Amino acid sequence: MSAVLPVAPPPAPRRRRRLKPWHWMPYVFVAPFFILFLGFGLFPLLFSAYASFFRWEIAAGLSGMKWEGWGNYLFVLQLDGLPWGSVFSTGFWAELYARDFWRAMANTFWLGIAAGVPQHLVAIPLAYFIHTQFRRVRNPVISMYFLPYITNTVAITLVFSSLFSRDFGVINQVLTGLGQWQVMGVHPLAWLFPTENIDWGRPEYTRPIVAFIVWWRFVGWNTVLYLSALQTIPKDLYEAATVDGAGTWQQFRYITLPLLRPMMLFAITLTIIGNLQLFEEPFVLTGGSGGVGQVAETVAMQMYKVGLTDGDFGTASAVAWLMFMVIAALTWLNNRYLGRKD
Amino acid sequence: MSTLASSLPAASVAPAPRQRRKPGRFAPSQWLPHALVLVGALIMLAPFYFMFVFATHTNTDILSVPPPLWFGDALFDNLNELVAQRPMFWRSVGLSLWIATASTVLNLFLCSLGGYGFSMYEFRGRDKLFAALMATMLLPAFVGMIPYVLMMKELGWLNSTRALIIPGACSAFGIFLMRQYIGSAVPRELVEAARMDGCGEFGIYWRVVLPLIGPAMGTLGLVTFIGSYNNFVGALLVMSDMEMFTAPLVLRSLQGTGQTPWGAISAGSAVTVLPLLVLFILYSRRLIEGLTAGAVKG
């Protein structure tokens, strides 16, 4: 009789099985990153949020922290006494610009836009062109554009500051050379190029130079990002479009650009996060001062100055968190605009 | 006449449509974009060229008009002047190389271990932990700068290479890169077979996985080395003692009031950038692919 009974299932283990060593091993393997991040990444970030509500001088140490509430933020923002009535006259903006944080913010935005927008406007067509036209010399060309990205910013910014020097800088000599170029007694290019040396140290030139260096450093990086996205677009799409009679421009507009959008989201996010924390190029180029009239002092430089040179940690933390909020807001906006699914 | 009439159209008309379909070899639309791309590439390289040219000229040559456009012979004079002004220059370059090497070794070990953990195990909360790891890449590092300096002070790590090596010893990007690579290059069966044979979990990583991930280790090593070698802000924050200056800090300290020693600065810049250029010339393709790996697959 017992033969007709189905084979009994193996008895379920009664006692709870002890955790095998390899059940907890993966946690050990991934732990170092999280420990380091909590200790050296997240903790300072949160502590700066906490510290931004305290008055805290460098000499006083941890015990000298005094509750300040939103005082640091109000002090940084300096909103008091602005002539709100004249918002649309120039006086308002001039006065706002004269206040440290707003000036640093305006400079950072100026630099971020002047360096960031051309990066993408140049990188996308450049990547498209390298992708479609270059065959044999492709890798050398990509490498030439990419090289600035890996070099030491301090070293190369110092080289740039000699190239942009007023009296001997190579850039002035090329420009004035073109301006003074003479054909049969006339200077045909004098309207376009300067005929005497430009003083690049003047405040109106400082920001454009910084923007140029930043552009120079990152345009190749963005090109490579777009190039790698272009390589994932299937060729059939273009073949089908050609069969349907779409021209090159239409293919670029209706196939390439829409399919590049995820990469644009990624690349522009990186540009936003990076450019709003801009520090090295303006710091080195202006010798840490921000230039004449502080025209190139970014928010990150201001935070460094207030916190570590002046020793006012509370105010510097408030600057840091205002910067964080702006970065988060812009990243969110960018994600909303470019990351939408339709 | 008839032979001429019959042969003429054939000879003159036939090539015409071909020409209309494809513009001539020297039409601007054919060469202009190439020329623009190449001119742009030269603009990208020009600062490097002038860095090396200026490194081989005396200050007076550099300050003359027109500037030197070809290499001179004052390289060693410039280096001597640099060392005369900043006696710790070579020590600083060595310090930078040491910090970069130590960071690279630690990152290779911890990131490959983490990547192995994330790719070869199923464990509770794995996907959430990985998402958190990816999200950390979006946090602006600058915001925690001031408490970071205070922490270093409390730990007694100011003016010590530890402050630049330990906090960056394991990067989210590195773990991501390793996870991708181990997931595709190491067969799961191999890991399970090793486990059956009684190999410990760490032994599997050390003896089975590690020998198989050479290419990814090379890529991550390059990326980490270059990133760590170029770290200026970190060094600026924790190094105040001239003896502990890294190469970028020494270079920056040369730029000051009075007569700027451009020859020495250029020579110092060239020496500082040279290791990076050598690595780039040898491995540019692998480096570019490694850096953009997160962008393509992520």
Other CB atoms within a 10 A radius of the CB of residue B271 amount to 20
**Greater model confidence, A342 or A258:** A258
> What stretches of chain A show up as alpha helix (H) in DSSP?
21-37, 43-51, 71-77, 90-97, 100-133, 138-150, 153-163, 170-180, 203-230, 235-243, 248-251, 257-275, 280-285, 299-304, 313-338
Q: Does residue B26 carry a pLDDT above 90?
A: no
Any residues with CB less than 8 A from the CB of A177 and at least 6 apart, and which?
Answer: none
Per residue in A194-203, pLDDT (tens digit) is 766 777 777 7
- CB contact (8 A) between residue A313 and residue B146: yes
pLDDT at B9: 42
Nearest CA in chain A to B62: A168
Out of A28, A43, A163, closest to residue B50 by CB: A163
Q: Does residue B6 carry a pLDDT above 50?
A: no
Question: How far apart are alpha carbons A206 and A283 in whole angstroms?
Answer: 11
* Average pLDDT, integer, range A273-302: 88
The pair of structure tokens assigned to A46 is 């949160």
Per residue in A42-56, pLDDT (tens digit) is 999 999 898 889 887
Residue B110: band (very low, low, confident or very high) from pLDDT cuts 50, 70, 90: very high
Chain A residues touching B43 at Cβ < 8 A: 216
| Beta-carbon contacts below 8 Å between A and B | 262
- What ipTM goes with this model? 0.85
**Greater model confidence, A20 or A76:** A76
The alpha-carbon gap from B15 to the nearest alpha carbon of chain A, in Å, equals 24
Task: Say whether A83 sits in a helix, a strand or coil.
Answer: coil
> For residues B268 and B254, is the Cβ–Cβ distance under 8 A?
yes
DSSP state of A312: B
Question: How far apart are alpha carbons A24 and B125 in whole angstroms?
Answer: 12
The alpha-carbon gap from B12 to the nearest alpha carbon of chain A, in Å, equals 29
The DSSP line for A189-206 is TTTTS-SS---TTSHHHH
Question: How far apart are alpha carbons B150 and B156 in whole angstroms?
Answer: 10
pLDDT at A167: 67
Any residues with CB less than 8 A from the CB of A318 and at least 6 apart, and which?
Answer: A52, A72, A73, A75, A76
pLDDT at B16: 45
pLDDT at B61: 76
Question: How far apart are alpha carbons B262 and B77 in whole angstroms?
Answer: 12
Other CB atoms within a 10 A radius of the CB of residue B245 amount to 24
The alpha-carbon gap from B106 to the nearest alpha carbon of chain A, in Å, equals 11
pLDDT at B62: 74
pLDDT at A320: 92
Per residue in B40-90, pLDDT (tens digit) is 999 899 999 989 988 888 777 777 767 777 877 778 888 888 888 888 899
**Residue B90 near chain A (CB below 8 Å):** no
Best interface-test mutation with A: which of B42, B62, B146, B197 has the largest number of A CBs within 10 A? B146
pLDDT at B12: 43
Which range of A286-295, B92-101, B177-186 scores highest in mean pLDDT? It is B92-101
Residue A9: band (very low, low, confident or very high) from pLDDT cuts 50, 70, 90: low
Question: How far apart are alpha carbons B264 and B287 in whole angstroms?
Answer: 30
- CB contact (8 A) between residue B285 and residue A267: no
Question: How far apart are alpha carbons B252 and A283 in whole angstroms?
Answer: 10
Residue B108, CA distances (Å) to B162, B186, B275 in order: 17, 17, 20
- CB contact (8 A) between residue B205 and residue A225: no
Per residue in B208-267, pLDDT (tens digit) is 999 999 889 999 999 999 999 999 999 999 998 888 899 999 988 888 756 778 888 889
The pair of structure tokens assigned to A96 is 């706002």
Q: What is the pTM of this model?
A: 0.86
Question: How far apart are alpha carbons B187 and B185 in whole angstroms?
Answer: 6
Going by C-alpha positions, the residue among A282, A291, A300, A280 that lies closest to residue A154 is A280
> For residues B68 and B266, is the Cβ–Cβ distance under 8 A?
no
- CB contact (8 A) between residue A225 and residue B292: yes
Q: In whole angstroms, what separates CA A286 from the centre of its chain?
A: 19
pLDDT at A60: 65
- CB contact (8 A) between residue B288 and residue A224: yes
Q: Write down the mean pLDDT value for chain B.
A: 84
Q: H or E stretch including A67?
A: strand A66-67
Out of B45, B54, B116, closest to residue A29 by CB: B116
**Angle between helix A138-150 and A100-133 (nearest 10):** 160
Q: H or E stretch including A54?
A: strand A54-55
- Cα A108–Cα A110–Cα A113 angle in degrees, nearest 5: 100
Chain B residues touching A141 at Cβ < 8 A: 37-38, 41
Q: In whole angstroms, what separates CA B111 from the centre of its chain?
A: 18
Sign for the CA dihedral angle at A14, A16, A22, A26 comes to: positive
The alpha-carbon gap from A30 to the nearest alpha carbon of chain B, in Å, equals 4
Question: How far apart are alpha carbons A75 and A263 in whole angstroms?
Answer: 40
Amino acid at A296: A
Q: Does residue A6 carry a pLDDT above 60?
A: no
The bridge status of strand A54-55 relative to strand A66-67 is: antiparallel
The pair of structure tokens assigned to A148 is 């600035």
Q: Does residue A326 carry a pLDDT above 90?
A: yes
Out of A22, A33, A130, closest to residue B170 by CB: A33
> For residues A179 and A194, is the Cβ–Cβ distance under 8 A?
yes
Nearest CA in chain A to B228: A152
Going by C-alpha positions, the residue among B83, B121, B57 that lies closest to residue B266 is B57
Question: How far apart are alpha carbons A167 and B64 in whole angstroms?
Answer: 9
Q: Does residue A59 carry a pLDDT above 80?
A: no
* Average pLDDT, integer, range B35-39: 88
Per residue in A113-162, pLDDT (tens digit) is 999 999 999 999 999 888 888 878 888 889 999 999 999 999 998 888 88
pLDDT at B57: 85
> For residues B194 and B82, is the Cβ–Cβ distance under 8 A?
no
- CB contact (8 A) between residue A220 and residue B273: no
* Average pLDDT, integer, range A260-288: 90
Question: How far apart are alpha carbons B216 and B208 in whole angstroms?
Answer: 15
Determine phi and psi for B24, rounding to 5 degrees: -55, 160
- Gap between the terminal Cα atoms of chain B: 73
Q: Does residue A10 carry a pLDDT above 70?
A: no
| Upper half-sphere CA count for residue B63 (Cβ side, 13 Å) | 9
Q: What is the dihedral of CA B163, B165, B235, A102, to 10 degrees?
A: -80
- CB contact (8 A) between residue A173 and residue B248: no
The alpha-carbon gap from B9 to the nearest alpha carbon of chain A, in Å, equals 31
Cis preceding-peptide flag for B66 (omega within 30 of 0): yes
Residue B5: band (very low, low, confident or very high) from pLDDT cuts 50, 70, 90: very low
The pair of structure tokens assigned to B166 is 């330990």
pLDDT at B17: 45
Nearest CA in chain B to A166: B63
Task: Say whether A183 sits in a helix, a strand or coil.
Answer: strand
> For residues A314 and A190, is the Cβ–Cβ distance under 8 A?
no
Percent of chain B exceeding pLDDT 90 equals: 36
- Gap between the terminal Cα atoms of chain A: 67
> For residues A160 and A213, is the Cβ–Cβ distance under 8 A?
yes
